[in-house]
Amino acid sequence: MAVIEREIPALGVAEKVRLVVDQIETVIVGKRDVVELALTAFLCGGHLLIEDIPGVGKTTLAKALARALALVYKRVQFTPDLLPADITGSSIFNQKTAEFEFREGPIFANIVLADEINRATPRTQSSLLECMEERQVTADGITYELPRPFFVIATENDIEAQGTYPLPEAQMDRFVMRLSIGYPDRADEARILARQTRARPLDALEAVIPRDEILVLQDEVRAVYVDESVRDYIVGLVSATRTHPQVQLGASPRGSLYLLHAAQASAALAGRTFVLPDDVKRLAVSVLSHRLILRPDARLKARTAETIIQEIVGRVPVPATL
C-alpha cells in the first residue's frame, strides 16, 4: 500500500495522528471523538471492544484504521462452530518432509477484527486470552510471537442475546476500553449518502504513516510523563470501584495500568509531554466501566456501570493541575 508523501519525520505524535484521523474521517463521518479514542487504544498498546447496534460502522472503522496505518489486516467472523485452531492456527502433516508444520491462523496480523465475538463459544473466545495479553500463540508446546504492532478490535451487537455467549470477565479485562459509535446526526448521515452514491470512500483511503514508524509512535507515548499525583488519582478512582456499595467486583490492577497508558496516549494526541488529571477523567468511563460487575440491587435501581464510574469521578478529589 502506497503511503502519502508528507514531512512525517518532522511531525510530533499529535500531528501524525491528526493525519490518520483526517483520513479515517473520510470514511467514518462525524465521529472524530470515536476515531481518536480508537487510536488512543491502539497507541497505548491495548485492544478495543466496540459494542453497538448493526450498521453503524464498526467493521468499517477497523478496516479504515488498518489502511490508514498501512498494516496487515485480517478479519475473523465469530460463529458457534468456530474452533480455537481456526483463529490461532494448527499443525499440518507435510508428506514431503514427513513432519508437522505449523500453519498460522488469522491472528497473525497487525490488526485483527474479531467480528461478533460473542457468537463464539467460551472455548473459542478463550483462545484469544494469550494472544491479547502476551502477544504470542502456543501450539503443540511451541511458542510463536505475534507481529508488532498487534491490535485486536472486537465487535458485538448489544441488542442481540439469542445465539450469543457473554464474554468472560477475564477477556473483558483485556480490552483497554469499550466504545460505542452510535447513530450519525441528520447532517452527517446526509454526507454519508452523498459520498457513497457512486463510490466507496474506503477504497480510496490511503496510508499516511509508514509502518516502521508506528512502533516509534507507541514508544513515544510510553515516554509521556505521569506525575505521582496523577498516578495516585488513578489508584484512587480504581480503588473506589472496589468499595462502591453497588459494585460486586471492581476494576483490577490491569484496569489501573490501562487507564495510565491510555492517559499517556491521550496526552500525546493533545500535543503534550505530560498527563493531566483531565486526561484520566475523560477516559475513565471507557476504560473502567466494562470491568465492573454490579450487584443485583444496582440493576433493580437501573444503575449502570457507566453512571457509577461517573459518580466516582465526581467524588474522588482531583489533584492540582501541574
Beta carbons within 8 Å of 213's beta carbon, 6+ residues apart: 8, 9, 16
The pLDDT of residue 100 is: 83
- pLDDT tens column, 141-190: 889 999 999 999 999 887 666 667 888 888 899 999 999 998 999 999 99
Between residues 4 and 165, which one has the greater pLDDT? 165
- pLDDT tens column, 21-51: 999 998 999 999 999 999 999 999 999 999 9
The pLDDT of residue 9 is: 38
Give the Cα separation of 236 and 234 in Å (integer).
5
Q: What is the mean pLDDT of the chain?
A: 89
Backbone φ and ψ for 25, nearest 5 degrees, come out as -70, -15
pLDDT of residue 5 exceeding 50: no
The pLDDT of residue 202 is: 87
Nearest alpha carbon to residue 88 among 54, 135, 53: 135
Q: In the chain, pLDDT over 70 holds for what percent of residues? A: 94
The pLDDT of residue 322 is: 52
The pLDDT of residue 8 is: 34
- Which of 99-108, 202-211, 232-241: highest mean pLDDT? 232-241
Q: How confident is the model at residue 10 (pLDDT cuts 50, 70, 90)?
A: very low
The pLDDT of residue 275 is: 96
Query: What are the structural domains, with CATH classification, of the chain?
Result: 8-215 (3.40.50.300), 224-315 (1.10.8.80)
pLDDT of residue 136 exceeding 50: yes
pLDDT of residue 296 exceeding 60: yes
pLDDT of residue 199 exceeding 90: no
pTM: 0.89
pLDDT of residue 3 exceeding 50: no
Cell of 115: 467480528
The pLDDT of residue 288 is: 96
Give the Cα separation of 26 and 23 in Å (integer).
6
Between residues 194 and 1, which one has the greater pLDDT? 194
Nearest alpha carbon to residue 175 among 148, 156, 162: 156
Peptide bond into 9 cis (omega under 30): no
> Stretch 232-242: mean pLDDT, rounded?
96
The pLDDT of residue 197 is: 85
> Stretch 66-92: mean pLDDT, rounded?
92
